Amino acid sequence: MTFAVRVDASDPTPPYEQLRRQLAGAIRGGTLASGTRLPTVRQLAADLGLATGTVMRAYGELEASGLVVTRRGQGTVVADLRSDAVGVRLGGLADRFIADAVAAGAGPAEVRAAIDAALSRRGA
C-alpha cells in the first residue's frame, strides 16, 4: 500500500513543512521502512503541483534530521534508524519541541532553560 501525502493550500503551515511532517511521521511510525526509496523531487513536486524547491526543502530538512539519506545514483532513501535509533528519535523530538516553542514565542535561551528545568525536576 502506497503511503499518501497531502498538501493543503488553505493551511497556514508552509507546504514544505506539511510535507516534512507527514514524511517524518511515516518514517518514525514505520510506515515508510528503512531503505524505502522516496520519489524524485521532480516527480513528487509534479504530483503535488508544488515547486521543486518546496519538495527539495522538505527533503533537506528530513536529511538534516537523519531520517533520509541521499546517495548518488540511488536517490533519496529512508535511513536505517536502528543504527542510531535513540539519537534520531531525540533529534526528531527536539525538532518538534523547538518548532512548537518558537511558535509560542520562545527564544533559544528560553528553550534551553526549559529543557534544563525539566531535567532538574526529574533529578537528572
Partner 1 sequence: MVVSGVLVVVALPLLAVVVVLAAVVAGRRRSARLVFDSEAYPGLVALRRSTIALRWTGVVVGILAGVAVIGVGPLAPLAFASPLVAGIVAVAALLVGQQLSYSGARSRGSAGVETRRLRDYVPVGLARRVGAATGVLLTVCLFLVIAASPDDLGRPGRALTAAWVEHRWVADQAGVLQRDDAFHSGATSPFPGSFYVPAVLGALALLLALSVLGLWLTARRPRNGGDPELVRVDDALRRITAEGIVAAAGAGIAGGVLALSVVAYTRFGQFPQVPVHVACSYLGALVALGALASTLAFATTLLVPGNGNRR
Q: Is the Cβ–Cβ distance between 83 and 67 less than 8 Å?
A: no
Shortest distance, position 33 Cβ to partner 1, whole Å: 11
Q: Count CA atoms within 13 Å of residue 122 on its CB side.
A: 6
The residue (of 71 and 122) whose beta carbon lies closer to partner 1 is: 71
Query: Taking Cα atoms as reference points, which of 17, 5, 4 lies closest to residue 59?
Result: 17
Shortest distance, position 24 Cβ to partner 1, whole Å: 12
Distance, CA of 61 to chain centre:
6
Ranges within 20-49 binding partner 1 (CB under 8 A): 23, 26, 32, 36-40, 42-44, 46-49
Residue 111 binds partner 1 (CB under 8 A):
no
Instruction: Put residue 66 in one of left, alpha, beta given phi > 0 → left and psi -120 to 50 → alpha.
Output: left
The residue (of 36 and 98) whose beta carbon lies closer to partner 1 is: 36
Residues that bind partner 1 (CB under 8 A): 1-9, 23, 26, 32, 36-40, 42-44, 46-49, 75
